[in-house]
Chains A and B, each alone.
Chain A
């Protein structure tokens, strides 16, 4: 069975600082990995995804993530946080066998002046 662990339910950074949101996955087959962002009372917006190929994936709003198979990780980063980045971030894994997305518990990102 596939699963996703997001370390840190709350992360706080200063505006302009590096953002690092951690995601580790468990999957018996090569996974497809996703990061979504959710603003209050809204649905999910896809930030980026890894399916195959290059392990460093760039997404929208300056975010990127690196798939590291040896560490079973897919951490999300952004070099310089902006106030508008404050939101809930979800990591998700999809495997063909399960035919569905499995979400992590989410990380609330707070950006302070």
Chain B
């Protein structure tokens, strides 16, 4: 149980274009989802917390106009990287909160490469 999927698993896009990443909770409803970014050989950095039906809460230093997060349903949150640049290339991981505040289940991640 508590499976989280991400789509796509990897994507290559050209500089200046936008790309959308989906995060789905497959067998449960998630009122809260999280988006993380991970650079090579580094830890996960929380980008934003996404609550169903409300605006996402972004961490300090994360550009909310560049990383658009939408949590329109209890099973789907999307991250759109707008006007992508090579420095946005990274591994993006989402997670979903299950029953308790501290219990998160992680998706498999999306590798974004901007050329």
On A, residues with C-beta under 8 Å from B are 32, 34, 36, 41-46, 49, 51, 90, 94, 96, 99-101, 103-106, 108
Contacts and interface: CB of A to CB of B under 8 A. Distances in A.
Contact of A44 (B42, B93, B102): B93
Interface of B: 4, 6, 34, 41-44, 46, 49, 91, 93, 95, 101-102, 104-109, 111
A105 B109 contact: no
B106 A94 contact: no
Contacts of B104: 101
A100 B49 contact: yes
B106 A45 contact: yes
A43 B108 contact: yes
Instruction: Classify the secondary structure of B's interface with A.
Output: strand
Contacts of A90: 43-44
Top 5 A-B pairs, shortest CB-CB distance = A43-B106, A94-B102, A44-B106, A43-B108, A103-B43
Nearest to A39: B108
Contact of B46 (A32, A46, A101, A105): A101
Contacts, number: 47
A108 B41 CA distance: 9
Contacts of A51: 102
A43 B109 contact: yes
Contact of A43 (B46, B93, B101, B102): B93
Nearest to A36: B106
Given A41-B91, A94-B101, A101-B102, 9 more contacts: A43-B93, A43-B106, A45-B106, A46-B105, A49-B102, A96-B101, A100-B46, A103-B43, A106-B41
